[in-house]
Structure 1
């Protein structure tokens, strides 16, 4: 695990890839646990028999964050690449089934839980790695250099991928983008290039979801790297800049939370309904049986939780009632 000799030197992708590969030998149990994220809500819930849903899983988001982190490490060589990539891979490792849609309802504190979760892991994880992981989960802008670089990658991915998902997979018109958001992200719906991109991804999503996932990742990286280059200043990450709270408010608070999340979390994924009719009854069942519900849930995927709730008779409805509503949502552009 000792890689301090690489810190401060020019970091090329070949060196970073070598360090990336070494992580699997250092943390085999965590990488095994990471596979669960293929069945955890990312943009929408991972339920049902529609082959397209898997493109929205949290695992794919994590890989996009890792990819952007690798690129940032070439720009900021004083960051510890081993620790940075560890944080990028595992910043969502203890997400519950249905992620935010359930976690908010039951007031699950991911940061407080991460230390307990990692204590149950068979791998040896240094204390400073855990502390930096918590900093990213808590979205701290002033923390260790490694936490900062991963938080910058994670924040940028969210800014870019969520609206692009809405436009290319849920039928939401690009016209719903406020001008200030278009200016920040570089999504110019008046330009033929962007219009072609949306049409291309939308068709690919329907025709070949596997290729869509790859192409979507490449396009998100293009916009994310452009965004970072635009707002980084004087060898500092944009999250360190005084302007960052204003950027985050415009993109996250005023746009994603008000316009995008009501679409993917509620209209499509039925998040509050799932929390009320599936997650909370299952948690109450586990408590009644003297099980630790959080420990149990952190071993389950979205589909496994739904299966258990239905099998136990905790809901009178068929599973299909809870599958994501993957239909055209062009009328959602008017959501306030």
Structure 2
């Protein structure tokens, strides 16, 4: 019996998935979904609500139907329950404002083959020669997600007894600021490279938190941090370092945590099979195009770094934060 002739089903599935993704992106950018919160509308009614012409919008609306974000009946379009939940402005779980992030990441990913072919990241993030206002704008954009991560950590973990906290690789100090605002007993330090710390200081001053959040310029690869802390939080730091440097960073940061203190690693964390979760797998395409080193490291790799640095009670959270990041925690022995 002859084997069935293979068909390009997986190829076509991937191709059509890209079409659906671009339709979703356009729908988010145009805010197609919010006017439909109140009920079904025609293409003309939606076009009027968002201030565009109906002829080309109608084509997008049918693409969104095939993407399973809208339904259509007798020429009237409605949100699916998922679109109502996540893509309508004002909804508690609204994520439609992430379209700029999606767009930027997809632009990077179009360069993947060339980055691999040349061995040079074709969309490299290198702020060493960038104007300060560009660096600041970028850091402020990603700070929104740092604040979200901090809020999620506060919901999941108990920080009520923590007096001192290090926000390592702080950017605009979103972790430090959010934690100290929620915990009046806490003092925090935002630590980052000298290029970044003046911007963090500016944001802290804007928030009126200079009495609670200090700034220190530090390179976690050059040696232990200069002060001891009860807790250190590393958000998206290790994943932009090489395997060797990530191990060194954990050791140096660990040396600055008091006995009995905790470390929280917030990052894209792969299962040891390296094919899940999908967010972390897909993020590796970003790393190929943006950084000379770094990747979504596995749970076992994180465990190895923490163990080598002398940590115990190493755990991986069984949940993901709102932006898809995982969490690893460990304790410094008393």
TM bracket (short chain): under 0.3
More helix by proportion, 1 or 2?
1
- Higher CA-based Rg: 2
More strand by proportion, 1 or 2?
2
Q: TM-score, normalised by structure 2?
A: 0.27
Structure showing greater relative contact order (alpha-carbon pairs closer than 8 Å, 6 or more residues apart): 1
